[in-house]
């Protein structure tokens, strides 16, 4: 019997538009001969299954729906919601209560990785290097001079819990502080201010296959903008080179660190780690536990370079999910 797979999309964050694209790519590449696949759109209280031009409301009591007087339940979930509530652990906790497996990390691991400041502080205890940083809450007083003394200029100001480079600014002089924080606080009530690391931006994808971790070829990101912001990422303002133009020693080090982080945090599924390489040292930027899978995203390009098809990637993710749930 074919298993029913819910491909989740939507969410309530700025990343919703990327989620719609990711879910469509996943839907297109999962083999309908092997799985019954359904797009499930989740946005606030509106949870619906979308099939062609028809929609069916989800019963949140057991995550099922009714079609032609038949109740359809799901055997597993493919997470394609970036940001809240798919990448922060909220939905993972819900599915744990229903004993429905999902292809990404646990609620606890998601909660940690989604909080950039906390995640990097935790990983520093395991000798993972990251930039100097502080967190600011919009309800607590903060002083620009104090921040500048601790972090220095230039620096990066970004939402603590967010992705796809929404709300990020580079501050190079004092009169830019207020605008940068205002932009970041539109996306989150917590903001990270971190020292700007001048170097080569690199990204490494990791999956688990047959009980072993596989690191994909690393992508080098070169942007026309000051840094890899939303415009650079999705509007063609960046050059993404896979494999990266780095030597084998740097490649091996970044892939090794990425696998180490995967294990330390107890991650599952398809994960992407972002770094800046400066003076032989990789600085961790962030961990993405539900990375973009759109045609413009990094992971699909790394998978192609590795010699794996997207269908193989997505089927492996589902098969590993079911194996881990046995």
Q: Is 307 found in the same domain as 210? A: yes
* CATH number, residue 189: 3.30.1490.20
* CA-wise closest residue to 201 among 123, 276, 289, 309: 276
Q: What is the pLDDT of residue 226?
A: 64
Q: Is 122 found in the same domain as 245? A: yes
Domain extent, residue 208, equals 111-128+199-325
* CA-wise closest residue to 316 among 204, 243, 203, 213: 213
Q: What is the pLDDT of residue 147?
A: 87
* CATH number, residue 88: 3.40.50.20
What average pLDDT does range 294-319 have in this prediction?
96
Which band of pLDDT confidence, cut at 50, 70 and 90, is reported for residue 308?
very high
Q: Is 187 found in the same domain as 225? A: no
Angle between helix axes 90-98 and 107-114 (nearest 10 degrees) is 180
Q: What is the pLDDT of residues 21-35, one digit of tens each?
A: 999 999 999 999 999
What average pLDDT does range 252-271 have in this prediction?
98
Tell me what percent of the residues of the chain surpass a pLDDT of 90: 78
Confirm if 25 and 300 have CB atoms less than 8 A apart.
yes
Q: What is the pLDDT of residues 168-213, one digit of tens each?
A: 999 999 889 889 998 999 888 889 999 999 999 999 999 999 999 9
What average pLDDT does range 285-300 have in this prediction?
94
Q: Is 95 found in the same domain as 26? A: yes
Q: Is the dihedral of CA 161, 165, 168, 172 positive or negative?
A: positive
Q: Is 264 found in the same domain as 119? A: yes
Domains identified in the chain, total number: 3
Q: Is 230 found in the same domain as 119? A: yes
Q: Is 123 found in the same domain as 237? A: yes
Q: What is the pLDDT of residues 220-234, one digit of tens each?
A: 998 776 655 555 555
Measured between alpha carbons, how far is 46 from 28 in angstroms, rounded to an integer? Answer: 24
Measured between alpha carbons, how far is 74 from 76 in angstroms, rounded to an integer? Answer: 6
- Per the model's pLDDT, the better-predicted residue between 166 and 131 turns out to be 131
Q: What is the pLDDT of residue 167?
A: 86
pLDDT at 237 > cutoff 80 = no
Choose one of 195, 223, 239: the last residue of a domain.
195
> pTM of the full predicted structure?
0.91
Q: What is the pLDDT of residue 41?
A: 98
Cis peptide bond prior to 243, omega within 30° of 0: yes
Measured between alpha carbons, how far is 163 from 187 in angstroms, rounded to an integer? Answer: 10
Q: Is 283 found in the same domain as 158? A: no
């Amino acid at each position: 019997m074919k298993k029913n797979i819910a491909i989740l999309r939507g969410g309530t964050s700025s990343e919703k538009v990327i989620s719609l694209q990711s879910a469509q790519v996943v839907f297109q590449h999962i083999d309908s001969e092997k799985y019954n696949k359904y797009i499930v759109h989740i946005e606030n209280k509106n949870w619906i299954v979308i099939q062609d031009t028809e929609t069916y409301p989800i019963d949140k009591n057991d995550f099922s729906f009714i079609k032609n007087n038949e109740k359809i339940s799901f055997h597993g979930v493919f997470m394609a919601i970036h940001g809240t509530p798919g990448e922060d652990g909220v939905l993972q906790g819900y599915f744990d209560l229903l004993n429905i497996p999902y292809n990404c990390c646990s609620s606890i691991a998601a909660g940690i990785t989604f909080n950039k400041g906390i995640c990097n502080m935790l990983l520093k205890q395991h000798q993972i290097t990251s930039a100097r940083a502080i967190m600011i809450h919009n309800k607590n007083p903060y002083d620009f001079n104090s921040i500048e003394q601790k972090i220095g200029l230039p620096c990066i100001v970004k939402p603590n819990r967010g992705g796809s480079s929404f709300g990020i600014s580079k501050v190079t002089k004092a009169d830019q502080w207020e605008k940068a924080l205002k932009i970041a606080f539109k996306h989150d009530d917590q903001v990270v201010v971190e020292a700007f690391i001048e170097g080569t931006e690199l990204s490494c994808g990791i999956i688990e296959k047959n009980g072993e971790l596989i690191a994909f070829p690393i992508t080098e990101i070169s942007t026309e903008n000051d840094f890899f912001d939303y415009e650079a990422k999705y509007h063609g303002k960046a050059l993404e080179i896979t494999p990266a133009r780095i030597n084998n020693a740097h490649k091996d080090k970044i892939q090794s660190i990425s696998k180490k982080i995967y294990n330390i945090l107890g991650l599952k599924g398809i994960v992407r780690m972002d770094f800046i390489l400066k003076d032989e040292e990789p600085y961790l930027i962030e961990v993405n536990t539900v990375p973009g899978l759109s045609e413009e995203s990094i992971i699909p390009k790394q998978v192609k370079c590795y010699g794996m098809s997207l269908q193989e990637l997505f089927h492996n993710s589902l098969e590993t999910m079911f194996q881990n749930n046995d």
